[in-house]
Amino acid sequence: MDDIPLSLLFAALGTLLLIGAFFAIAETSLMSVNRYRLKHLVKEGNRGARLASSLLARTDKLLGVILLGNNLANAAAATLVTVIAVRMFGEGEWVLAVGTLSVTFAILVFGEISPKVVAAAYPERLAIASSYILYPLLKLVYPVVWFINLFVRAFLGVLGLKPNFSETVHAITMEELRSIVQEAGSFIPKKHQTILLNLFELEKITVDDVMIAHTYIETIDFDAPLDVIAAQIATSHHTRLPVRAGQAEEVIGVLHIRKVLHQVQSGELTMEALREVMSEPYFVPLGTPLYAQLQQFQEKQQRLALVVDEYGELKGLVTLEDILEEIVGEFTTQSPARSSAFHRQEDGSWLVDGSATLRELNRKLKLKFPLDGPKTLNGLVLEHFEDIPEPGTSFKIANHTLEIIQAQDKVVKSVRIVP
């Protein structure tokens, strides 16, 4: 190399550093690119994204060609720096030491750290761009990469490692998906973000959390006089009502109010007409997850279910609307009984019905009552005292001040809550 001009040697050194920088950029950008964004671009027909995705599907071979090119470029640069140092300063140990330090500095700054920082900042753009070079390069040097990987796989086999680069490696859990939605920020509208997060909760929430307790269910007594039944149908705020009969007051069916409303208004209602339009009661067990119940409502084409315990005792009622409210939020159409469960006081406190569910209180009033125990405010108060508290009793739960306003018939009727 004595007859090669120094300017040409320096140009070759710069070229080798650029080659090393390219492989450093390719490695960092491809390893850190968002795989799901890449899949989206592939579906849109982006050729570069398709090449990048194909390379990532063979990660062992991709790393093989990147590291092969990177190490060849760095080794050649180190050799070239030694030649330049000897040409400029002559032979000697200090010359080799200075040359080694110089090439190490140059490789770290210009061939490794700076390119990788840039690649980490713009992974998608650089990964797609570098794929246009890496894809044909891998085909060109594939025999060399394949030969090297033979030794790599043998070495990993000795260590007992069997890397799997299939797509399942990149699958994410429900909790990870929840975190992605929460961190989406301005990319997902706030309302859409809330709906998605609520969907994730459906597996954890059961019908017990949203059902109307059996003591608050409006039912029709089939043994009552016909005029009493007609009056109840005419004034009911519900579209469907369970029908009870017999001394045990068992639920024998569900009445769709609209099917007999015309007969009630015209005075032509008969018991036979009621029997004809009544549908079979649909029972579900306590503890059924809302997601499963939503599917069952769809499969069975039902909108109302009666919740029973292991002994078949009626514990509550859940509707399709109750589940939808857990997903999209509260509907504007509610019965007066439910809409009057919360009253804002002049001092900023809330007068709340004891039958209100804790989930509903937390959602609507932004409270932080625990949800792993009782489902209603009445149940929470009774668990706290292990007795029926007297009106006027004040106490704290979850940093919220509560005052018993009315307690009657072994039930806390109303409570004042100071958030």
- At residue 334, the pLDDT reads 55
Digit-coded pLDDT (tens) for 259-288: 888 888 888 888 988 888 899 999 999 999
**pLDDT, mean of residues 23-27:** 92
Between 243 and 197, name the one with better pLDDT. Answer: 243
Q: In this predicted model, what pLDDT tens digit does every residue of 60-99 receive, in sequence order?
A: 888 889 989 988 998 888 888 888 887 777 776 777 787 7
Amino acid 13: pLDDT: 86
Task: Considering only CA atoms, give the Rg of the chain.
Answer: 36
Residue 164 has pLDDT above 70, yes or no: no
pLDDT digits (tens, 9 = 90+) for 199-211: 888 878 899 888 8
CA 414 centroid distance within chain: 36
CA–CA dist 312, 301 (Å, integer): 23
Q: How confident is the model at residue 45 (pLDDT cuts 50, 70, 90)?
A: confident
Q: Would you put residue 155 in left (φ > 0), alpha (ψ -120 to 50) or beta?
A: alpha
**What is the predicted pLDDT for the residue at 265?**
86
Q: What's the CA gap between 112 and 126, in Å, rounded?
A: 15
DSSP label at residue 390: P
Tell whether the model's pLDDT for residue 373 goes beyond 50: yes
Q: What is the pLDDT of residues 302-361, one digit of tens each?
A: 999 999 998 889 999 999 988 988 888 776 555 555 555 778 888 888 999 888 888 888
d(C-alpha 230, C-alpha 273), whole Å: 12
Residue for token pair 């650089």: 126
Return the pLDDT at 23.
92
Q: Is the pLDDT of residue 1 over 60?
A: no
DSSP string for 318-366: EEHHHHHHHHH---S---HHHHTSEEE-TTS-EEEETT-BHHHHHHHH-
- Extract the tokens encoding 353: 């019905």
pTM for the structure as a whole: 0.64
> What's the whole-number mean pLDDT along residues 36-61?
87
**pLDDT for residue 168:** 43
Q: Structure tokens of 302?
A: 């039902």
Name the 3-class secondary structure at 52: helix
Amino acid 169: pLDDT: 46
* Mean pLDDT score across all residues of the chain: 85
Q: Is the pLDDT at 298 greater than 70, yes or no?
A: yes
Averaged pLDDT, 390-395: 90
User: What whole-number percentage of the chain has pLDDT above 70?
Assistant: 94
Which ranges in 267-314 belong to alpha helices (H)?
A: 271-277, 290-300
Q: Find the range with the poorest average confidence among 129-133, 171-175, 335-339, 346-350.
A: 335-339
- DSSP state, 408? E
CA angle at residue 63 from 61 to 69, to 5 degrees? 105
Q: How many CB atoms lie within 10 A of CB 344?
A: 10
Q: Would you list the DSSP string of 7-50?
A: HHHHHHHHHHHHHHHHHHHHHHHHHHS-HHHHHHHHHTT-HHHH
**Residues 397/369, Cβ–Cβ less than 8 Å:** yes
8 A C-beta contact, residue 297 and residue 303: yes
- Measured between its terminal Cα atoms, the distance across the chain in Å is 83
